[in-house]
Structure 1
């Protein structure tokens, strides 16, 4: 591996840890809001999608370009993403932050299966070993974390079920975003995800969450937590497309496994809590798993060629067919003249 590839790999791993930190902040704020009796997962996500729509939607309007992917695919992607956020945030009402973070690792096998089926990614045994190493490292850090936070939750089984369902939706969303950002425009993907995310969230708030939202006793602390959640998720969604484009959905979710470690660090610096040596060892194990997975992939983005990926998704891109027809018409006109 030459120097350029090594630098690209290090940059990818660095971005992965940045989004992992943002995910830890979102988990931490969601847990605190739950402890304060706030049960409004759709409203929390609404501010995230609204910020994405305003910022990236403005850029998209300034460009005045035609959508490269039909709007209804973005609507489906946004709907899936909203459900994933709703289920995982809702789980904090019934389970502890430790349990939610532990089960959140289910996104990794879901992503591997979905990318294998729909994108055509093929994983070597070394890559699977790297992924398994990351999951083992997560298990170690949660053993360490359990000594700090313990269990918790009034309905842990329900909360765990919500998380597992949420990880499946997250995997679908991540794989869809991976395809879109690799073949199309990152700004368009994030902007449309934000726009349709707002529409879906508002509709579901009026149906499912209106009474819970009216019951919230707003205070400076609750408002600051909402702001913290919105800012962290906005930055998460902003950087995530770069990681998905460079490394794919699997390494994206593997990087997020370290979010529980960042949660522990937040507890150390904000609450003065202590962790044992197992935490530091687990961090090394997860980092080793990420390196093994990244180094053993000839092309981190995907293990198949672009032509094969395009073949899998040809039916999703109607504009490609239109463009080919236009080119053929032009060529026939040129030959006749």
Structure 2
């Protein structure tokens, strides 16, 4: 009973629920991107641009209203913006060269990368329960990847080697971005993080669009059918980016990346109920495995004993909460 109560703490339940909410948002962006691709629109950086603009406007306005000064160096956010923009670009670009199966499998590289980076730079320590949870989650996804559902997709791609390299590079940058955000949200301020990431992300995206996607945008014949998924993608990404720091502060970047493993399973659920498609039964086993892995990982708090550089102790959490209250930016803003 003691072990069961340890699993079902308020922190565990909130972390699991928030993680799945973020996973659903990622799933919705996938459907939006798919719809845009069907209409011949191939502008990944442009899709993310509006999200960065919304972050800069909304959270920047809050910062200006409270007249808050930066707690972290501006160039830290500039570097984060560059890493984040290029991570999004590389992974989306990879679909042009390799198969969906390869992207799904290789994107898991972000998880060990995050664990290594948090161990090196945030002094996060992982006990056997958390490592077991990670292994169970990854095993669940591998079950999907090698199931008959993707049997016809394994040889897809015009240049698999190039595409796989893009995915690995993008996943590594995602890991750097996630760990950086975890550090900044725990040692600076969530509102500051979102506004500055939006500001520099918008600038970097605009430069990249002018170089790589200007001709693509000029050739698009905009209509309601094309504009709606474009705007829907941006709004979903805005909500995703807004809630990510909350989960990072609550459960860390490893839990965040593990939660996103279920996005493909949620896509299956949508296909079943919205499009009445039949899917392989292996998906349900994989979904159950990832869910069990998340619960095991979330309940492994006792195994992790970080110092102030990693996941915060109660004293660190109280100090951060006090600083947030003083800055007028509680965790629910």
TM score, norm. by length of structure 2: 0.85
- CA deviations 1:58-102 (Å, max 9, x no partner) are 111111111111111111111100000111122233344444333
Q: What's 1:155 paired with?
A: 159
- CA deviations 1:129-162 (Å, max 9, x no partner) are 2111100001123345725984544434332221
User: Is contact 1:148–1:274 with CA below 8 Å preserved after alignment?
Assistant: no
Q: What's 2:110 paired with?
A: 107
Q: What's 2:210 paired with?
A: 206
Distance, in Å, in 1 between the alignment partners of 2:73 and 2:262 is 35
Q: What's 1:186 paired with?
A: 190
Q: What's 1:281 paired with?
A: 285
Whether 2:238 is the aligned partner of 1:238: answer: no
Using the TM superposition, give the Cα deviation of residue 205 of structure 1 relative to its aligned residue in structure 2, in angstroms.
1.2
Distance 1:102 1:145, change over 3 A: farther
Distance, in Å, in 1 between the alignment partners of 2:148 and 2:82 is 33
Q: What's 1:305 paired with?
A: 307
Map 1:1-337; keep pairs closer than 5 Å.
6-144=9-147, 146-147=149-150, 150-151=153-154, 152-298=156-302, 303-306=305-308
Using the TM superposition, give the Cα deviation of residue 18 of structure 1 relative to its aligned residue in structure 2, in angstroms.
0.5
User: Is contact 2:182–2:248 with CA below 8 Å preserved after alignment?
Assistant: yes
User: Is contact 2:96–2:157 with CA below 8 Å preserved after alignment?
Assistant: yes
User: Is contact 2:121–2:309 with CA below 8 Å preserved after alignment?
Assistant: no
- Aligned pair count reads 308
Distance 1:34 1:307, change over 3 A: closer
CA-based RMSD of the aligned residues comes to 2.3
Distance, in Å, in 1 between the alignment partners of 2:226 and 2:102 is 23
User: Is contact 1:148–1:275 with CA below 8 Å preserved after alignment?
Assistant: no
Distance 1:106 1:212, change over 3 A: same
Structure 2 residues not aligned, in runs of 5+: 313-333
Distance, in Å, in 1 between the alignment partners of 2:47 and 2:139 is 31
Using the TM superposition, give the Cα deviation of residue 212 of structure 1 relative to its aligned residue in structure 2, in angstroms.
2.2
Q: Considering only CA atoms, is the larger Rg found in Structure 1 or Structure 2?
A: 1
Q: State the SS of the aligned residue for 2:306.
A: coil
Distance 1:4 1:274, change over 3 A: closer
Structure 1 residues not aligned, in runs of 5+: 311-337
Distance, in Å, in 2 between the alignment partners of 1:124 and 1:169 is 25
